[in-house]
Chains A and B, each alone.
Chain A
Amino acid sequence: MMLRVDVDIFSGRPNPAWVVSDEDAAGALLEEIAAVADEAVGLSGAGYGGLGYREVVISSMSDDESWPESLPRTFTLGTIGAPDPRRSAELARRIVADMPRYRGFKLPGHAETPLDDTTRDLVLEQMDRFFQDPPEWFRPPLFPSNSLRSTIREDEPIDTGCFYEVSEFNPDFWNRPEVQPYNNCYNYARNYRTDTFAQPGRAHGAQTDVMACPDVTRAALADGLVRRFDCLPDSEYPRRLMALVIWPGVDYHWYREQRGDFWGHKPGSTAARNYDNRGALITDPETCDRGGYTDFCGYFYAGKSVVIN
Chain B
Amino acid sequence: MAADGPERRGPVIVELHVLSGRPDPRWPLDPGAAAALRALLATLARADAKPPPAPGLGYRGFTVTDSEAVRHVFNGLVTVGDVALADPGRTVERRLLGTLPPEFEHLGPVVAAALDG
| A residues lining the B interface (CB < 8 Å) | 184-186, 197, 199-200, 211, 216, 247, 249-254, 265-270, 273, 275-277, 290-293
Q: Does B72 belong to the interface (CB within 8 Å)?
A: no
Which B residues, 79 to 99, have Cβ-Cβ distances below 8 Å to chain A? none
B55 partner residues in chain A, CB cutoff 8 A = 277, 291
In angstroms, Cα B13 to Cα A145, docked, is 48
Q: With CB as the reference atom, state the residue of chain B lying closest to A279.
A: B53
Q: List 16 A-B residue pairs with CB atoms under 8 Å apart, sorted by A's residue number.
A: A186-B21, A199-B22, A216-B21, A250-B110, A251-B19, A251-B22, A252-B22, A267-B56, A267-B60, A268-B21, A269-B17, A269-B24, A273-B56, A277-B55, A277-B57, A291-B56
Interface residue SS majority, chain A:
loop
Query: Quick one: which of B21, B58, B106 contacts A291, CB cutoff 8 A?
Result: B58
Contact B20 A251 (CB under 8 A): yes
Over the window 1-20 of chain B, the binary record of Cβ atoms lying under 8 Å from chain A Cβ atoms (1 yes, 0 no) is: 00000000000000001111
Q: Does B23 belong to the interface (CB within 8 Å)?
A: yes
Q: Does B107 belong to the interface (CB within 8 Å)?
A: yes
Contact A253 B110 (CB under 8 A): no
Q: With CB as the reference atom, state the residue of chain A lying closest to B58.
A: A291
Q: With CB as the reference atom, state the residue of chain B lying closest to A198.
A: B21
Contact A253 B58 (CB under 8 A): no
Contact B58 A268 (CB under 8 A): no
Q: Does B40 belong to the interface (CB within 8 Å)?
A: no
Contact A250 B106 (CB under 8 A): yes
Q: With CB as the reference atom, state the residue of chain B lying closest to A272.
A: B56
Q: Does B54 belong to the interface (CB within 8 Å)?
A: yes
Query: Quick one: which of A216, A269, A273, A277 contacts B58, CB cutoff 8 A?
Result: A277
Contact A267 B22 (CB under 8 A): no
What size tier do the contact residues of chain B reach? 10 to 19
A247 partner residues in chain B, CB cutoff 8 A = 57
Contact A251 B56 (CB under 8 A): no
A276 partner residues in chain B, CB cutoff 8 A = 56-57
Beyond A276-B56, A277-B56, A291-B57, whether A267 also contacts B110 by CB under 8 A is no
B22 partner residues in chain A, CB cutoff 8 A = 199, 211, 251-252
B56 partner residues in chain A, CB cutoff 8 A = 265, 267, 270, 273, 275-277, 291
A252 partner residues in chain B, CB cutoff 8 A = 20-22
In angstroms, Cα B106 to Cα A249, docked, is 9
B20 partner residues in chain A, CB cutoff 8 A = 184-185, 251-253, 266-268, 293
Q: With CB as the reference atom, state the residue of chain A lying closest to B19.
A: A251
B60 partner residues in chain A, CB cutoff 8 A = 267, 270
- Would you give the shortest CB distance from A243 to chain B, in whole angstroms? 13
In angstroms, Cα B57 to Cα A290, docked, is 6
Over the window 57-69 of chain B, the binary record of Cβ atoms lying under 8 Å from chain A Cβ atoms (1 yes, 0 no) is: 1101000000000
A211, A247, A252, A277 — most chain B CB neighbours (10 Å): A247
Q: With CB as the reference atom, state the residue of chain B lying closest to A277.
A: B55
